[in-house]
A and B are shown apart, each in its own frame.
Chain A
Amino acid sequence: MSDTALTAARRLLPSRGSRGGRRPLHDRRSGLLTILMWTCGLYFLFPLVWLVISSTKSNTDLFTTFGLWFGHRFSLWENLVDVFTSQDGIFLRWLGNTALYAGAGAVGAAALATLAGYAFAKYDFPGGKILFSVTLGAIMIPLTALAIPTYLLFSKAGITNSPWSVILPSMVSPFGVYLMRVYASDAIPDTLIEAARVDGAGEFRTFWRVGLRLLAPGIVTVFLFSLVATWNNYFLPLVMLNSSTMYPITVGLAQEQAASAAGGGAQILFSTVITGSFVSVVPLIVSFLYLQRYWQTGLATGGVKG
């Protein structure tokens, strides 16, 4: 990736000395622009409002009452019971699988990216530049082009339909390495490393004691978006897994959606699919609101718009 993109990403990272409160000289707020923007905002809210309202409706009310208002009965509780008990409570298992795949994948990705990014930023070693440009080039490799051959290789190794088949590919994050390099070169002063060396600390001790502490915000950022990328991934688990007890929530919901559409709601109720979607979104939105700072500053990964 070019230098221009490099500076762009650098701007996305949480910086310590960012421009503070810019206050206008006088109130410049515009009523027209405010109205226009909030009208646009409704568009982004509309499907979510519909989802919340619909998950309080029984399957019959879904069909007989207006979509953007509540039904005759408030059936959220019944729907939740349906979600968690249908197919022997497999929904909870899907949530657990998702947490496992996303958690393990993100820990792995963050650890690998932190080590590599630190080395690229703070060591001038033979071959380092070439290795880094190889990593940058890999950002553009579409992950979906890899899922099919990876599946074939995994099936030869006998690890398809196992957690590893989803976790291992999720641990590679070239963009994470790139972000960590950018972050490390700003966050860790060279003099600090030199001082540690003078004190007789070994390279790993220096990294452990000095580097990790200063890199913490960057690590959280890389961890978070690896987590979200794996959490949201549909293609990879769809390819890798074939028993429904192994599914993450995305593949499970898609399967329920297909079953309800095929059976006209006979096997699985539409209300169950909708409430299931609602339940699966809640932890993401809550974590999003809590960890906004990291999301906003680090979210440039996108490559995995899975």
Chain B
Amino acid sequence: MTSVTVADVSARGSTHRAKRTITAGKRKQHLAAYLFVVPFFVVFLAMLIVPLAYSGYLSLFATRIVGGVSFVGFDNYMKAFRDPAFFAGLSRVALVLGVQVPIMLGLALFFALALDSGRVRGSKALRLLIFVPHAVPGVVATLMWGYLYGQDFGPIAQFFRTIGLPAPNLLAEGTVLGSIMNIVTWEFVGYNMIIMYSALRAIPTEMYEAAEIDGAGQWRVAWSIKIPAIRPAILLTVIFSVIGSFQLFNEPSLLHNIAPNAINDAFTPNYYAFNLAFISLNINYASAIAFLLGITIMILSYVVQLSTQKREVRR
């Protein structure tokens, strides 16, 4: 016990002496560190790595009518690449990524800047109001909006009927994706706004006070100083949005209950994988789809990161 204390005291004292005495003390610290991380990594391994590997493994097999389960190599992946249903789902997700995500993040950024500028009355209450939908579970959000869109007692349809116009069918095949985009926007604008807003609050005021005194307008300050300063936070919201969009499941799954004709089994890739696994009982193909989806998300997230990093280097 004494040797430990001596080693530690010397480690605090001079560095070259500490180097010589990397002995019992250091070793004991390393042991403690491993003991601290072991519980997490046991669960991490069991609940994340093993299922991921198992999913990859399963995707290499197929159940044949003759001969039962057999190894088929990358056949399931080849099948996925030629599967129009899978691609239709992917393209819907891509549309969400290309249309809904920019709108959502644009709104979030606008709200964050407006609230940060101190020019809005009751901004604290407003911030809470915009953020409150995040406290509502996705299932309940979809349920509410599903009824709001509905023809029977949805206020939107009621409104149109009152002014004598035909009510738009917001749960038809052509419109339901837009309706889903609206639900996701409602749920996540506030969440993204808070990420950006916290970053804005962390900018030192001196950075733009001078510019304001020099007569730079709010737009100019926002564009040239504030937005560049919170780039890391914006990047974070983009990455989370990529991950979230590709995993879309709750919204199509619940809207399917009230609009079965508008939403097919492969509406989004994730919904497709679920239906393949639990309705068609094609576990192997479902694993391949899930694995592909996972890889796509990871690649896209890295691309987002790399592209912004490159831009930073060029500066």
Contact = CB atoms under 8 A, between A and B. Distances in A.
A87 interface: no
The B interface is mostly helix, strand or loop, or mixed, namely: helix
A302 B291 contact: no
A47 B287 CA distance: 37
A124 to B, nearest CB: 8
The A interface is mostly helix, strand or loop, or mixed, namely: helix
B153 A50 contact: no
Interface in B118-167: 118-123, 126, 128-141, 143-148, 152-155, 158, 162
Contacts of A203: 28-29, 32
Interface stretch (B42-50, B61-69, B220-228): B42-50
Contacts of B194: 296, 299
Interface residues of B, number: 117
B71 interface: no
B240 A234 contact: no
Contacts of B47: 146, 150, 168-169, 171-172
B290 A148 contact: yes
Most chain A Cβ neighbours within 10 Å, of B32, B111, B148, B293 = B32
A232 B243 CA distance: 17
A141 B291 CA distance: 10
Interface of A: 1-2, 4-5, 7-9, 11-12, 18-19, 22, 24, 28-30, 33-34, 37-38, 40-41, 43-45, 47-48, 50-51, 54, 62-63, 66-68, 108, 111-113, 115-116, 118-120, 123, 125-126, 128, 131, 135, 138, 140-146, 148-153, 168-169, 171-172, 174, 177, 194, 197-198, 200, 203-204, 207, 228, 231-232, 234-235, 238-239, 249-250, 253-254, 257-258, 261-262, 270, 273-274, 277, 280-281, 284-285, 287-289, 292, 295-297, 299-300, 302-303, 305-306
Interface of B: 1, 4-5, 8-9, 12, 28-30, 32-37, 39-41, 43-44, 46-48, 50-52, 54-55, 58, 107, 111, 114-115, 117-123, 126, 128-141, 143-148, 152-155, 158, 162, 186, 188-191, 194-195, 198-199, 201-202, 204-205, 231-233, 235-236, 239-240, 243-244, 246-247, 249-250, 253-254, 257-258, 270, 273-274, 277-278, 283, 286-287, 290-291, 293-294, 297-298, 301-302, 305, 308-309, 312
